[in-house]
Structure 1
Amino acid sequence: MDYQLERKILTFKEVESTQKIARHFLHQGKAVHGLVIQAASQTGGIGQKNRSWYSPLGGLWLSVILLKELPLSYFSGFSIRIGLSIIAELEKKLPLNFKLKWPNDLILAGKKVGGILTDLHSKGDFLQHLVLGIGINVNNEISSFPLEIRNQAISIKDLLEKKPVSLIEIRENVLNAIDIVLESFQKQPIRNLASLWNRRSLTFNQPVNFLFNNKIFRGIEKGITPIGELKLKIDDKIKSFSTGRIISHG
């Protein structure tokens, strides 16, 4: 079975959210596997847990629809696999060193350069559809970002002597990365996901403050489980988390 994206790409100048447009196509029955919704800017970009995502001109803002009827077990740790694949593809083209921060942040020079959002719907034990949202600061002017996030964000251009980067090339790198993960479904499952994560994690073996159920836990990141859960050493015990987020480290 061919799982590769069809890569029908619809581009918009400005939208509220590419995720919302993708959901609209799904609800109207007009979506195909691999439909890509891309916008030059978003006025209401969506991040993890429905937090707002600032997405002005200069960045790559897109949503990809996956429609293959696949076992849900294939999607364990999916956003981490996508993140690992994206940064590997970007590093083939760019002289940069990317990291990941659990669960879905792309990191450059210790700052957030992008993020991944997965909106999965199932029917029984199989995928019904998945909308994969990806946002990357590419040519953005970080100095124009809201003050509350300005010091935490970075763009690819910032580390390339302010030279503009082709958004089309970055988009193709991202879509290639998704295809690589989808193609892996036809082969042996990834057995070294945890070791790949350890090499790429921003906070591996470092102390972190972790927000879970409105409580902050202090622990040492000890990697991930085979299904992508975060492992923290707290009071000499290893605890695994499937939700929550790292709010600070070090």
Structure 2
Amino acid sequence: MPDSAFKVLEILERSATPISGEVISNELGITRSAVWKHINELRMMGYDISSSQKEGYRLARTSAKLLPYEIHKKLQTKFIGKKMRYLENTPSTIWIGKQLCSEGDVEKMHGMVIIAEEQTGGIGRMGRAWVSPSGGIWITIVLKPHVPIDHVFMITMAGSIAVARAIRKEFDLGALIKWPNDIFIGNKKVAGLLLELSAEADTVHHCLLGIGIDVNVHLNNFSPSLQNSITTISAEVGHEVDRASFLARILKEFESRYLLIESGEYDAIIQEWKSMSCTLENRVQIRTLKNSFEGDAVDIDEFGALIIRKDNGKLERVIAGDCSHQ
């Protein structure tokens, strides 16, 4: 949307009473027909703007879409989310991130957040499809991390902590982290994360942190087989919530943990992750590409691997795999 349309929106937002097209045109130095054009652009973006010949224009309700303009009004970060790319519909925000990184200067894109209202080809772990209807938060954060390659996994940990903390602070819901990268409320999944990176030897070219959260999504958007194992924020609190405010909080929570990682404060991240884990001290079943087994989840090591005490007493270190609670 053109900057002029946002300037019209700013005038409407600060006016407690209806305001005429003539006043708006005089303030911005544009024609009244241009004002009318921008009003229609705003309406197409979901803003409810009433109008009458006698009184003029009035902003009746803000847009429910996850627009960068609305997020930036509430954003309190130094670099995460200062640049945003917004799409109504895309196969995958991670796919868009890959494309941007292949074509541009990743250093300049560091901290960029790619947002989609809906994903038609969302990807979860192990290449699984991720159902991403409108009403959720489907984002990818582009990063050029100055982190040793053996600690890059901590970016996912920072993202998991950020999402769980934001849910707790924003909605007073007891969100917990399930290894390796899912967020649960009770025994139901509400969010998931995925980290993709481009690296060569010890050099990380870029990281793409994908985050998917079921926020204002109706459960009937999901198949019956999924409805018993997932939940949404709106289902938990009983009403739709402000996604822009929620995402602004997530980005703030993530940035503070990300800066800890870049400062080498690894133990602080690990300890916070452990304090919010619903996996540790539980009996789990692990499925890897090679085998499957059961045991007690006893710890997570400095490299993010889950430590399992098997029934024969031996400890097994799991770097990647599926974990289900027994």
TM normalised by structure 2 equals: 0.71
Are 1:110 and 1:202, in contact at CA under 8 Å, matched by a contact in 2? no
- Corresponding residue for residue 152 of structure 2: 75
Are 2:166 and 2:246, in contact at CA under 8 Å, matched by a contact in 1? no
Partner SS, residue 39 of structure 1: strand
The superposition leaves residues 211-242 of structure 1 with CA deviations (integer Å, 9 ceiling, x where unpaired) of 11252211111121111101111121111111
- Corresponding residue for residue 187 of structure 1: 263
Asked if residue 38 in structure 1 is aligned to residue 136 in structure 2, the reply is no
Partner SS, residue 281 of structure 2: coil
- Corresponding residue for residue 227 of structure 1: 303
Amino acid at match of 1:147: P
Amino acid at match of 1:108: I
- Corresponding residue for residue 104 of structure 1: 181
Are 1:223 and 1:230, in contact at CA under 8 Å, matched by a contact in 2? yes
> What is the deviation of 1:91?
1.8
* Equivalent of residue 172 in structure 1, options 245, 248, 255: 248
Amino acid at match of 1:10: R
CA RMSD of aligned residues (A): 2.0
Asked if residue 243 in structure 1 is aligned to residue 320 in structure 2, the reply is yes
- Corresponding residue for residue 216 of structure 2: 139
Q: Could you say which structure has the greater relative contact order, defined with CA pairs below 8 angstroms and 6 or more residues apart? A: 1
Q: After the TM superposition, which segments of 4 or more aligned residues of structure 1 sit over 4 Å from their partners?
A: none
* Equivalent of residue 17 in structure 1, options 92, 95, 111: 92
Are 1:6 and 1:33, in contact at CA under 8 Å, matched by a contact in 2? no
Are 1:17 and 1:42, in contact at CA under 8 Å, matched by a contact in 2? yes
Distance change in 2, residues 1:3/1:127 (3 Å): farther
Structure 1 gaps, min length 5: none
Partner SS, residue 266 of structure 2: coil
- Structure number with the higher strand fraction is 1
> What is the deviation of 1:198?
3.3
Are 1:101 and 1:201, in contact at CA under 8 Å, matched by a contact in 2? yes
Distance change in 2, residues 1:52/1:179 (3 Å): same
Q: Which has the larger radius of gyration?
A: 2
> What is the deviation of 1:54?
0.5
Q: How many corresponding residue pairs? A: 247
- Corresponding residue for residue 123 of structure 1: 200
- When structure 1 is superposed on structure 2, of 151-160 and 178-187 the one drifting more is 178-187
> What is the deviation of 1:30?
5.6
Structure 2 Cα separation of the partners of residues 85 and 69 of structure 1: 20
- Structure number with the higher helix fraction is 2
TM normalised by structure 1 equals: 0.91
Are 1:108 and 1:154, in contact at CA under 8 Å, matched by a contact in 2? yes
Amino acid at match of 2:201: G
Once the two structures are aligned, what percentage of the paired residues are identical? 26
- Corresponding residue for residue 164 of structure 2: 87
Partner SS, residue 174 of structure 1: helix
Structure 2 gaps, min length 5: 1-76
Structure 1 Cα separation of the partners of residues 300 and 270 of structure 2: 6
> What is the deviation of 1:194?
4.3
Structure 1 Cα separation of the partners of residues 231 and 132 of structure 2: 13
- When structure 1 is superposed on structure 2, of 144-153 and 103-112 the one drifting more is 144-153
Amino acid at match of 1:215: N
